Amino acid sequence: MRIPALDLHAAVEEERRELDAAWNEVASHGTYILGDQVSRFEHEFATFCGTRDCIGVASGLDALRLLLQALDIGVEDEVIVPAYTAVATWMAVTAVGATPVGVDVEPTTFNVDPSLIEELVTERTKAIIAVHLFGRPSDIAAVQEVADRRDLLLIEDAAQAHGARVADRRVGSLARAAAFSFYPTKNLGALGDGGAITTDDLELAERVRMLRAYGWRTRSVSEIFGVNSRLDELQAAFLRTRLARLAMNNRRRRELADAYGELLAAAPGVELPPGGDSSLLPVWHLYPVRVDARDGLQVFLAERGIGSLVHYDPLPHLTPAYRRVGWADGAFPVAEMLARRELSLPFYPQLSLDAAREVAHSVLEWAAQTSR
């Protein structure tokens, strides 16, 4: 059995009828930009997250970027971002002319270590972006405490955590505002690019709405400088059908994570991601294990027809772009150690339990061999 790391087509096949119907509805309606589908999706996603508003935009990067811009963050400002994240988190800060200031992460959750934030705060620090990496909510209460003490804005990067909860609140509603991505691989993914901002702050929402379309409140009247970053009507229609299945798909992800957790519990030298409980419910965007000799495991699995992925190596600060502005190895010891050891096993809602067993079996075989 060949087992890919990810299979986006499997999801499309499963939902083919609903997706076809969504496409047909948009095609016959005749509005292709900012019509009913976008406003309905915005309303439904805000309701899902438990926020007063949601604004659809063209990507997750744009969601972060427009949010920072709407909060007046720009040149001369610093924004604290986790060292372990997709490069988009850092680049959104760079894109508005501000400076990303990395902070190291916790060794088991991959999320920001709240105890390291305060020492990085300077006169220029305006905000902190907490990323809920791999579907696991950040320790938002602890980060909020630092933000309150130092008068900083707290923003969530929820691109990997649609539906995750802290107690009875969903991510997207835990801070001043949140950015989501609907890139096809995410827990809630479009069939193309897409993103959104959620917030309870209606004034902020209005600014983001203007920024996404040329600074217009009224068509053709640019009150401020904006860009073109709209969520497509067609993608919104697809997202509405997929939002209806998100809870089920997140449940399947949890079952798979539980299965991997049980099967691999005794694997020597294989460290597993921590689970959740009633106060913190992850949605398992990926299943990242930690091993020494990560590349060896990846090759071992590939030889058995099993795909796997590395997230993220290089880390944002060690990409050529950020090295060029002065970042270097050693800046974040924990994140850099994790980046050498992380491997994401095959993981998507349509992956069968049999396939997960086969993956686990191969990992156990490798672990037994290498621990001898």
Nearest approach, Cβ of residue 17 and ligand PLP (Å): 26
Contact residue for ligand PLP among 48, 51, 60, 106 (CB under 6 A): 60
Peptide bond into 322 cis (omega under 30): no
Nearest approach, Cβ of residue 278 and ligand PLP (Å): 25
66 near ligand PLP (CB under 6 A)? no
The stretch among 29-37, 84-92, 95-103, 247-255 that binds ligand PLP (CB under 6 A) is 84-92
Pairing of strands 169-170, 177-181: unpaired
312 near ligand PLP (CB under 6 A)? no
In the block, residue with structure tokens 């050693």:
330
Helices and strands (DSSP H and E) totals, the chain: 12, 12
Q: At what angle do helices 233-264 and 36-49 cross, to 10 degrees?
A: 30
Position closest to ligand PLP via CB = 60
Across the strands, what pairs with 232? 33
The stretch among 53-61, 163-171, 339-347, 362-370 that binds ligand PLP (CB under 6 A) is 53-61
171 near ligand PLP (CB under 6 A)? no
Nearest approach, Cβ of residue 330 and ligand PLP (Å): 23
61 near ligand PLP (CB under 6 A)? yes
86 near ligand PLP (CB under 6 A)? yes
Which residue type occupies 340? R
Contact residue for ligand PLP among 131, 272, 283, 301 (CB under 6 A): 131
Q: Residue 128 or 306: which CB sits closer to ligand PLP?
A: 128
236 near ligand PLP (CB under 6 A)? no
Instruction: Tell me which residue of 192, 181, 238 sits closest to 15, measured CA to CA.
Output: 238
Cβ atoms within 10 Å, residue 46: 21
Distance CA 89, CA 94 (A): 9
Structure tokens at 327: 């970042």
88 near ligand PLP (CB under 6 A)? yes
Number of residues lying near ligand PLP (CB under 6 A): 15
157 near ligand PLP (CB under 6 A)? yes
318 near ligand PLP (CB under 6 A)? no
Q: How far is CA 300 from the centre of its chain?
A: 28
| Tally of residues, the chain | 372
232 near ligand PLP (CB under 6 A)? no
Contact residue for ligand PLP among 183, 238, 300, 322 (CB under 6 A): 183
Distance CA 132, CA 156 (A): 7
Instruction: Tell me which residue of 267, 278, 287 sits closest to 351, measured CA to CA.
Output: 287
Collect all residues with Cβ–Cβ distance below 8 Å to 136 and sequence separation of at least 6: 109, 110, 111, 161, 164, 273, 274, 276, 280, 282
The stretch among 59-67, 96-104, 135-143, 295-303 that binds ligand PLP (CB under 6 A) is 59-67
The stretch among 22-30, 57-65, 97-105, 120-128 that binds ligand PLP (CB under 6 A) is 57-65
The stretch among 19-27, 56-64, 222-230, 296-304 that binds ligand PLP (CB under 6 A) is 56-64
Q: Residue 59 or 125: which CB sits closer to ligand PLP?
A: 59
Asked if residue 294 lies in contact with residue 342, where contact means CB atoms within 8 angstroms, the answer is yes
DSSP element (H, E) containing 342? strand 342-344
Nearest approach, Cβ of residue 327 and ligand PLP (Å): 18
Nearest approach, Cβ of residue 147 and ligand PLP (Å): 19
Percentage helix, strand, coil for the chain under 3-state DSSP, each rounded to 5: 45, 15, 40
42 near ligand PLP (CB under 6 A)? no
109 near ligand PLP (CB under 6 A)? no
Nearest approach, Cβ of residue 160 and ligand PLP (Å): 5
Distance CA 53, CA 234 (A): 20
User: Cα–Cα distances in Å, from 166 out to 48, 170, 353?
Assistant: 14, 6, 27
195 near ligand PLP (CB under 6 A)? yes
Q: Which residues of the shown chain bind ligand PLP in the complex (CB under 6 A)?
A: 59-61, 85-86, 88-89, 131, 157, 159-160, 181, 183, 193, 195
